[in-house]
A and B are shown apart, each in its own frame.
Chain A
Amino acid sequence: MPVTIAISIDDACASLDAHPGALVLAGGTDLMVEVNRGVRRIDHVVAVDRIPELRGWSIEGDHDPVHGQVLRLGAGTTCADLAEPALASLVPALAQAARTVGSPQIRNAATLGGNLATASPAGDTLPVLAALDAEVELRSTDGTRRLPLDEFVTGVKANALNPGELITAIRVRVLDGPQEFLKVGTRNAMVIAVTSLALVVDRPGRTVRVALGSVAPVPLRATEAEVLMAERLDFEGLTTPEPELVNRFSELVADAARPIDDHRSSAAYRTHAVGVLARRAILRAFSGPVPEPA
């Protein structure tokens, strides 16, 4: 039988070992497109969409006022799950990104782990995970290892998965501060990103973290822009920064982009757009003053 329907992570890993070269099928929204087009042949498939351990999320460890709590998201968490209010309140930018993926039908099937496995430069959740300094948890019959996102995504549709390895979870910090995900495309629904940007604020850590999508083979952090803003922003009150600072931030973010011309956009447009998104995101995040807690 060319399809194994795995019922546990151990079961899936054992099947991957038993069938070298087997494809992992989660939501199918990327894999089946290739199968339908005839560019991907199916020899053996390990379906992981019915593994309860992969669905769902939890908060790990004690509350840490400086670094925040750790949110562990099962790799089988769907885009629809990510947009649910309980999760959206913990990682708002991830929920915003998940809401922009495909259509309701796609979001019901597509998973966070699948977005990572595909590792498309236009993967909508990837800039958010990069901004959140996410860790990817991988399991095989040899054991578990964790990789930072920038070591996991290694190129255009390339990742650090070894043969027999399965993405089991993604870990991110729950941050105290506003978050934004913004995306430019040809229309509002059902669109692949021309460019995207995630911005997260860590108020206790006094940092802004910015990551860009669709402007390089892998998600990019705009490090110089982050350093500038860490020194200059009002992390207590989140008051609106001066126009001159916003301009400089926008320029530094655009400078960080390394886009190419392709069928979806020109490199010049992408560079321009990502600067506009940077301005929009920082002004939305820093629109204080923050009201006093009641």
Chain B
Amino acid sequence: MTNESGFSLSVNGRSRSVVDALPGESLLFVLRERLGLAGSKNACEEGECGSCTVRLDDETVCSCLVLAEAAAGRQVMTIEGLGSEGDLSDVQQAFLDAGAVQCGFCTPGLLMAIDALLENDPDPDDLTVREAISGNLCRCTGYGRILDAVDRAAEARQAEATP
């Protein structure tokens, strides 16, 4: 049974209509498979790994645990909305500079989590950073460089904020 009437989602500021979704499809599935936004990654599908992290009405959530149709009318921001090739966000640039990317699978989720962290706390201490990314698993053991990237991004954002 498909949902014939469809529904629409607001993704990265654009209204996108979803016409062919099956009941029960997660926001992650719809983003990747129906809207062609493959930046959010699918690994655990139970909220454990954080690689599907998006912002829903500004708050970070696991998109695999959001029922796509129930997100109609809310603002979704994905990694594709954070920056793009040639126009990277400060956190993305910091990850490149720090070499915080190995296989890259956890990276989109971490970028979303860290971007949200720095928005709420421009100068987080180490414990706050670790807490903020506790829901994002990196299995290439790259945490040292990820923490380094957070420091670099925080510095860049503060420098940007002070004229």
A and B physically associate: yes
Partner of B132, one of A80, A104, A109: A104
A2 contacts B132, CB within 8 Å?
Answer: no
Q: Does B158 touch A at the CB level, under 8 Å? A: no
Closest to A99 in B: B131
Determine how close the nearest CB of chain A comes to the CB of B58; give it in whole angstroms: 10
- The count of residues in chain A whose C-beta lies closer than 8 Å to any C-beta of chain B is 30
Q: Which residues of A contact B24 (CB under 8 A)?
A: 35, 41-42
Say if the beta carbon of B153 comes within 8 Å of chain A. Answer: no
Say whether A287 faces chain B, with CB atoms less than 8 Å apart: no
Please encode chain A, from 219 to 232, with 1 for each CB lying within 8 Å of some chain B CB and 0 for all others.
Answer: 00000000000000
* Chain B residues in 8 Å Cβ range of A102: 47, 135
Distance (whole angstroms) from the CB of A83 to the closest CB of chain B:
11
Contact yes or no, B113 A43, CB < 8 A: no
Leading 3 A-B pairs by shortest Cβ distance: A103-B135, A189-B134, A42-B24
**Beyond A5-B70, A104-B113, 17 additional pairs, beta carbon < 8 A:** A1-B5, A1-B69, A3-B7, A5-B73, A27-B65, A32-B26, A32-B66, A35-B67, A36-B26, A47-B67, A104-B131, A104-B132, A105-B60, A106-B135, A108-B61, A188-B134, A190-B135
Tell me the B residues contacting A by CB distance below 8 Å: 3, 5, 7, 23-24, 26, 45-48, 50, 53, 59-62, 64-67, 69-70, 72-73, 113, 131-132, 134-136
List residues of chain A with CB under 8 Å of any chain B CB: 1-3, 5, 25, 27-29, 32-33, 35-37, 41-43, 45, 47, 49, 80, 102-106, 108-109, 188-190
